[in-house]
């Protein structure tokens, strides 16, 4: 197999569409934190996004190759399909993660801490401990998915803050809608692979109620972010009807759970997150502006 093919399959292991969305939130957080238009800083943050996020994702894929082989949705991924060997996938993912950590350290120690925490929550906590055992696996594993927000903010501001925590919470509360309804779409795959995702083990009513609650908390965190920073007013305004629509669709889903309805809900997930973050750097002054002091409250 040619080197070009190996590189192609290595990139495939990073889940490019997911990586792109996570990188997007990282850069939005960077600019929301007041990060400068520094080519060096932005290139380093891009390296962190690609190599750290991509490397951790690839390692997750290596460790879950046996599960992927059991599911129609994932059986053609590089390792279960034999395009890459287990050793090749392991080597690629470790090298990428090390490069990502080095780039993170070149920015500052808080960005590196974000990468380390992402690794801990994604690999030992989610992949090794919870994925095959707990229906709440994505809640704890989802902490890894918010670290790119904290890392992007720390790259721009030099540390974490209360404002960055609110943006991170928004991502964490968004994850169930994103994951659980794609699980419903591929329900038979997850059930046959014996993966105890919450939609597999709980009735639709409980899953729907939990998801709507998480979405309400997501919206609350975005509005609180605006209250203490004067930023993301447009995001909050646009998110509100999106989340109302998603909640209504989820309410209907629990009464008539179909694959098509699950896919319709899943499709709403990415636009909701994009709207929440694309306007996060944009300030619109308001009467609660004195609360802005809370936004700079350092968490590290």
39-78 residue pLDDT tens: 999 999 999 999 999 999 999 999 999 999 999 999 999 9
pLDDT mean across residues, the chain: 92
Q: How far apart are CA 296 and CA 293, in angstroms?
A: 6
Q: Compute how many other C-beta atoms are within 10 angstroms of the C-beta atom of residue 136.
A: 15
Q: Which two tokens stand for residue 249?
A: 């669709």
Give all domains of the chain, ordered by start, each with its CATH number: 1-159 (1.10.357.140), 161-300 (1.20.120)
Residue 266 CB contacts under 8 Å (≥ 6 apart), including other chains: 177, 178, 181, 182, 185
Token pair 């014996």 is found at 194
pTM of the entire predicted model: 0.91
pLDDT at 287 over 90: no
Q: What is the DSSP letter of 38?
A: -
Task: Give the helix, strand, coil percentages of the chain, each rounded to 5.
Answer: 75, 0, 20
pLDDT tens-digit series, residues 157-170: 999 999 999 999 99
Helix (H, G, I), strand (E, B) or coil at 283: strand
Q: How far apart are CA 292 and CA 294, in angstroms?
A: 5
Q: How far is CA 276 from CA 38, 213, 269, in A?
A: 24, 17, 11
pLDDT tens-digit series, residues 256-272: 999 999 999 999 999 99
Q: Count the alpha carbons within 13 Å of 154 in the hemisphere toward its beta carbon.
A: 27
Q: Which two tokens stand for residue 189?
A: 């795959």
CB burial string 66-80: b at 16+ within 10 A, e below: ebbeebeebeebbbb
pLDDT tens-digit series, residues 172-222: 999 999 999 999 999 999 998 899 999 999 999 999 999 999 999 999 999
Nearest one of 50, 159, 167, 43 to 110, comparing CA atoms: 159
């Amino acid at each position: 197999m040619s080197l070009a093919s190996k590189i192609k399959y290595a990139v495939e292991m990073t889940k490019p569409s997911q990586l792109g969305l996570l990188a997007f939130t990282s850069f939005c957080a960077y600019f929301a934190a007041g990060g400068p238009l520094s080519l060096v800083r932005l290139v380093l943050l891009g390296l962190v996004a690609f190599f750290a996020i991509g490397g951790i994702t690839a390692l997750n894929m290596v460790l879950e190759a046996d599960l992927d082989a059991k599911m129609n949705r994932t059986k053609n991924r590089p390792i279960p399909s034999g395009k890459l060997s287990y050793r090749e996938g392991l080597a690629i993912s470790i090298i990428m993660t090390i490069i990502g950590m080095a780039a993170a350290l070149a920015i500052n120690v808080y960005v590196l801490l974000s990468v380390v925490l992402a690794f801990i929550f994604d690999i030992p906590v989610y992949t090794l401990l919870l994925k095959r055992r707990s229906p709440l696996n994505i809640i704890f594993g989802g902490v890894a998915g918010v670290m790119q927000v904290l890392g992007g903010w720390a790259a721009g501001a030099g540390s974490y803050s209360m404002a960055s925590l609110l943006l991170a919470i928004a991502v964490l509360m968004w994850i169930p809608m994103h994951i659980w309804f794609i699980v419903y779409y591929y329900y038979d795959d997850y059930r046959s692979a014996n993966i105890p995702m919450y939609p597999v083990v709980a009735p639709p009513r409980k899953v729907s109620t939990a998801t709507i609650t998480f979405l309400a908390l997501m919206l609350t965190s975005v509005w609180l972010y605006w209250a203490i920073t004067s930023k993301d007013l447009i995001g909050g305004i646009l998110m509100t009807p999106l989340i109302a629509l998603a909640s209504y669709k989820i309410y209907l889903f629990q009464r008539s759970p179909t694959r098509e309805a699950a896919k319709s809900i899943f499709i709403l997930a990415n636009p909701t997150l994009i709207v929440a973050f694309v306007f996060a750097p944009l300030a619109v002054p308001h009467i609660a502006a004195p609360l802005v002091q809370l936004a700079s409250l350092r968490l590290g």
